[in-house]
Amino acid sequence: MVAPHVLFMFFFATRSQRTALRHPILRALRLVDADLAI
């Protein structure tokens, strides 16, 4: 099962890839996902 913030991040990234990459909160969530993936 995928976490809700992952779905939101994916949806947001598809709408505006550059904005998603620059967004500090989304970048933080990406770091958290990386830790959870390990």
- Quote the pLDDT of residue 6: 77
Checking if the pLDDT of 20 tops 70, the result is no
pLDDT of 21 above 60: no
> How big is the chain, counted in residues?
38
Q: What is the pLDDT of residue 18?
A: 60
Map tokens 């099962």 to a residue: 1
d(CA 33, CA 25): 12
**DSSP codes joined into one string, 6-35:** HHHHHHHHHH-HHHHHH-HHHHHHHHHHHH
pTM of the predicted structure, to 2 decimals: 0.32
Domain ranges of the chain: 4-37
Q: Which residue did the predictor score with more confidence, 23 or 4?
A: 4
Burial class (CB in 10 A: 0-12, 13-18, 19+), 22: exposed
